[in-house]
Chains A and B, each alone.
Chain A
Amino acid sequence: MADDAGRPTGGLIGQPHVRIDGRLKVTGQARYPADEPLANPAYAYLVISAISRGRVAGMDLAATKATPGVIDVLTHENVGQEVKPPMGPDGKPTTTTLESDQIWHDGQIIAVVLAETYEAAREGAYKVVVRYAAEAPSATFDSPGVEVEPLKANETRHDPAKGDAAAAFAAAPVKIDARYDTPIQHHNPLELFSTTCVWEGPKLTIHEGTQNLYWLKGSVAGQLGLDLADVRTISRFVGGGFGSKGAPTSRTAWIAVAARRLKRPVKLVTTRDQGFTIATHRAETRHHLQLGATPDGRLTALVHEGWEVSSRPSSYNVSGTATTARMYACPNIATKVTVVHADRNTPGFMRAPPDTPYMFALECGMDELAYALGKDPIELRRINDTQTDPVSGKPYSSRSLMKCFDAAAGKFGWAKRDPKPGSMRDGDWLVGYGCATACYPCNIGPAAARLSLTPKGKATIQLAGHELGTGAYTLLAIVVADRLGLQVDDVQVMMGDSDLPPVPGAGGSNNAASTSNVAAKACEAIRQRLAMAAVRTNAGIFAGVDPATLTLVNRALVGPDGRSEPLETAASRVSPGAIEAHVENVPQGLPPDAAAALYHGRASLLRGQSREDVTAFAFGAQFVEIRVHRRTCEIRAPRAVAAFASGTIVNPLAAHSQYQGGAIWGIGSALHEQTEIDLRTARYVNHNIADYLVPVNADIGEVDVIFVPEEDHEVNPLGVKGIGEIGIVGMNAAIANAVFHATGRRIRKLPIRIEDLL
């Protein structure tokens, strides 16, 4: 094995390794935030609004306060002035909670009951009598009273466009003109949203499952007017995030206020139904897609217009046209996005936020176009494949899309497919094969890390990273062991605490790229110190040797001629104890102040679709077999094959799980998941995890994952592209395309259920 500079490495990067935190997780010892032992905690229970628009006219708290064990009740009247509202996921104003009597949405926090026990807090909360001044709410698209806001271009967003798409579409010999819908979806991580706050004098410690420790820290400090140094956030394990724990939300500051008033720790574990409205979700979207093509299949026009729902004050949007405009070679592109404001909670990041809904439209449209042309869907994508970003004209850093299609098609058995809809049957089951493109931009952010290496060859790396299930602890242990010539078990990884050096939040699939590259940089700093000391001494075997040629292998410093000296000897020249390095890594292309902003929780990512040098995406191909029962229209997904090329894969074992889990998310997204909303009251109806359908074990058959090898020397030094999101992208379209193939019914909305096929 060799790195970019040709130096040998430990060969551990790319070798599967079981999770180093696996034992903690299977023995119940992994400590999630609500598992922290506390001295004399009080318990909090939220009261949430039963209307979607209006004001709290008054609250009768007498019965609550008379409940044995109830200590205090927070409302807008007694604590409303103590906290500044948090910003939304886009860093701009969002809905408020106890700051005033205003109700923005169903299920908004309007009071917090504090008690000696969980049971007393819950009873007290149920006894709060709220008088509302209710107004007629607007629920979603087409509801009376919504505000429609076509988004304008500004410094941070623009609508990808080129050529004259309208004219090209009008003139196109073959056209698809179709509309698609995607539903409201909720992450529903298994871990309930929880917050525990503990004060020690002026210092506040927050235990909360978060994908962004420094953002949460900075947000709460700002909201409460605290010194940044006085706030610490701890989240050693996160029980699933999927974006729901990415941005700070309102509850945290109120629990901090509660703990300050009570002068004791306060613990809040919210209920499953509250999680639907006190955090974020994937908003419903609409799409109008127009594709124009020549008879031989070359795209001549792509027009993609999207509509997304947000809350009244927030214009949060995902604008996935930034992805769909870049998928295929096309000379004429026009895109536009409109936000529709309703009386709803603000949406936020959910696994591949832009790409999951927007690629559904494009990849269904490509399948429709393939049928209109009489071409194979894979061949249509091959005809329009490109190594150049069609919007910016920049080269892709690497793009292995068709390799993924070919690998997955072979394994899947695509050649056995008769393209005629409804032509394939197995007894009473109609069989359909579908495929679609998967993609996700490669993002990387600034990051810091502290690394120490003992003469005996034990390393400890510390950074405020996040383990959501991605295998983040193990990934760092592998990188450090590889670069320092150790075994994975020799490396201790410390994460999940804002007292450690900052890294970006775990979102946008940046974690592996951001943390592995800073870890490698820290290892290089230690290697250089060992090497410099070894070549400067007169006593050692490396006196006068070029230090750049010395590497760390098997607990030894090794020269280009193979001569080596033990690590202990080399280390003793540098330090009598451990050698330490504290490094920051700011990827080229980010502003110079990116590192400083990181400490304030404002990490700016270098995004794959807006780099100066290249356009950087990971690509993949999703294949699925769908069976629809001829009589009952029951829909099953017995097997799927997905192939991905995501540059360097640090740990194929955990990566396989990420990809497979992503594909399963795609199956849920296509066939199960929808948050239903009552159009009259703008309230969610199925706000529990039995009526909000997610795949269960019996819903999932074979899900094969293929790693397509890919080396990318442009994307970042380690060539790591990120894998957390791409697994879901395109699977929903592949399934809709397979349903069409099985039945001849083109369903252009999600989820696809029995009633759509009756």
Chain B
Amino acid sequence: MEMTLNVNGRDHRLSLDSRTTLLDALREHIGLTGSKKGCDQGQCGACTVHLAGRRVLSCLTLAAAVQGRAVTTVEGLAQGENLHPMQAAFIAHDAFQCGYCTPGQLMSAVACVREGHAASDEAIREYMSGNLCRCGAYPKIVAAIREAAPQMAPKMERA
């Protein structure tokens, strides 16, 4: 079926199988491979993207269902060469190892702050528990979110 997806501020006209997930649309058809497939069944969080500003699992979201709503992926987090504060904090705190869960962690982390769930380590741990990190970077992810949260001024954020 024909559809138009708005990803990171840009429209993409696509002809896709009606069963195509948003994750596969991004990766296989638009060429944005930052979002990762770690389970394809909503268990790991590696595919997390923002849909109209809220975090969703793109592997459990049909591409056809998101027409007309803004999708933001990890590729849309930085503004040109300027990293989002969350990206910079992840680097500074070494909040990843293999990096495969990192795009999903970052998208969840940004949403976690915006949702108001980053006030304490306990809250961060709870609201980041939908994103598995098999390398075990959890303590550093918490530290990175604590550092980045106060720096997340609205001007740094893409709508």
Determine how close the nearest CB of chain A comes to the CB of B53; give it in whole angstroms.
19
Contact A468 B98 (CB under 8 A): yes
Across the interface, do A657 and B97 meet the contact criterion of CB distance under 8 Å? yes
**How long is the Cα–Cα vector from A192 to B47 in the complex, in angstroms?**
12
Check if A31 sits within 8 Å of B33, measured CB to CB.
yes
Chain B residues with CB under 8 Å of A27's CB are: 34, 74-75, 77-78, 83, 87
Given contacts A118-B24, A189-B98, contact A240 B34 (CB under 8 A): no
Q: Does A55 sit at the interface, judged by CB under 8 A?
A: no
User: Majority SS of interface residues in chain A?
Assistant: loop
Is A707 close to B, CB under 8 A? no
The one of A25, A118, A242, A662 that contacts B99, using a Cβ cutoff of 8 Å: A25
A509 to B95 Cα, complex, angstroms: 21
Given contact pairs A240-B98, A697-B142, A35 touches B43 in the complex (Cβ within 8 A): no
Residues of A within 8 A of B34 (CB): 27-29
- Please tell me if the beta carbons of A239 and B99 are within 8 angstroms of each other in the complex: yes
Q: Which of A99-107, A514-522, A586-594, A698-706 contacts B (4 or more CB under 8 A)?
A: A698-706
Contacts of B101 in A (CB 8 A): 190
Q: B19's contact among A119, A192, A242, A653, by CB below 8 Å, is which?
A: A119
B17, B103, B126, B141: which has the most chain A beta carbons within 10 Å? B17
Interface size of B as a range: 35 or more
Contact of A469 among B37, B99, B106 (CB under 8 A): B99
A595 to chain B, nearest CB (A): 29
Most buried by A among B77, B131, B137: B137
Contacts of A654 in B (CB 8 A): 94, 97
Q: Does A97 contact B (CB under 8 A)?
A: no
Please classify how large the interface on chain A is, using the bins under 10, 10 to 19, 20 to 34, 35 or more: 35 or more
User: Which residues of the other chain, B, contact A30 by a CB distance below 8 angstroms?
Assistant: 99
In the bound assembly, the distance between CA atoms of A193 and B154 in angstroms comes to: 39
- In the complex, whether A602 has a CB less than 8 A from a CB of chain B is no
Contacts known (A242-B134, A661-B136, A688-B39); A191 close to B100, Cβ less than 8 A:
yes
Task: Of the listed stretches A15-23, A133-141, A157-165, A329-337, name the one at the interface; the rest are far from the partner chain.
Answer: A15-23
Task: For the complex, give the distance between the alpha carbons of A690 and B38 in Å.
Answer: 12
User: Are B20 and A119 within 8 A (Cβ)?
Assistant: yes
For chain B, residues 78 to 102, give those with C-beta under 8 angstroms from any C-beta of chain A.
Answer: 78, 83, 87, 90-92, 94, 96-102
Q: Which of B17, B39, B126 contacts A119 (CB 8 A)?
A: B17
A22 to B88, alpha carbons, bound, how many Å? 9
What's the Cα separation between A120 and B20 when bound, in Å?
A: 10
- Indicate if A460 sits at the interface (CB-CB under 8 A): no
Q: Which residue of B lies closest to A703 (CB)?
A: B139
CA distance A696 to B125 in the complex (A): 8
Asked if B97 contacts A661 (CB within 8 A), the reply is yes
**Which residues of B lie under 8 Å from residue A644 when comparing CB positions?**
none
Decide yes or no whether A228 CB sits under 8 A from chain B: no
User: Does B31 make an interface contact (CB < 8 A)?
Assistant: yes
A90 to B32, CA, bound (A): 38
User: What is the CA–CA distance of A141 and B41 in the complex, to the nearest angstrom?
Assistant: 32
Q: Does B58 contact A (CB under 8 A)?
A: no
Q: Which residues of A contact B133 (CB under 8 A)?
A: 190, 697
B135: chain A residues within 8 A (beta carbon): 240, 469, 657, 661
Interchain CA distance A653-B77 in the complex, whole Å: 25
| Chain B residues whose CB sits within 8 angstroms of the CB of A695 once the complex forms | 136, 138
B7 close to A (CB within 8 Å): no
User: Are A26 and B128 within 8 A (Cβ)?
Assistant: no
When distances are taken between beta carbons in the complex, the residues of chain B under 8 Å from A29 are 34, 75
Is A437 at the interface (CB under 8 A from chain B)?
A: no
Task: List the A side residues contacting B39 at CB < 8 Å.
Answer: 192, 272, 688-689
Q: How far is the CA of A237 from the CA of B135 in the complex (A)?
A: 14
Task: Check if A698 sits within 8 Å of B126, measured CB to CB.
Answer: yes
Contact for A697 among B73, B83, B125, CB less than 8 A: B125
Q: Is B46 an interface residue (CB 8 A)?
A: yes
Is the CB–CB distance between B73 and A237 below 8 Å? Answer: no
Interface members, chain A 649-676 (any B CB < 8 Å): 653-654, 656-658, 660-665
Question: How many Å lie between the Cα of A24 and that of B78 in the bound state?
Answer: 12
Partner of B136, one of A34, A120, A660: A660
Interface string of A303-342 (1 = CB under 8 A from B): 0000000000000000000000000000000000000000
Interface residues of B (CB under 8 A from A): 17, 19-20, 24, 27-28, 31-41, 43-44, 46, 73-75, 77-78, 83, 87, 90-92, 94, 96-103, 106, 124-126, 128-142
A-side residues, CB < 8 A to B, are 18-19, 21-32, 34-35, 37, 117-120, 187-192, 237-242, 269, 271-272, 467-471, 653-654, 656-658, 660-665, 688-690, 694-700, 702-703
Q: List 11 A-B contacts (CB under 8 A).
A: A23-B83, A27-B83, A28-B75, A35-B27, A190-B101, A192-B37, A239-B99, A467-B98, A698-B125, A698-B128, A700-B136
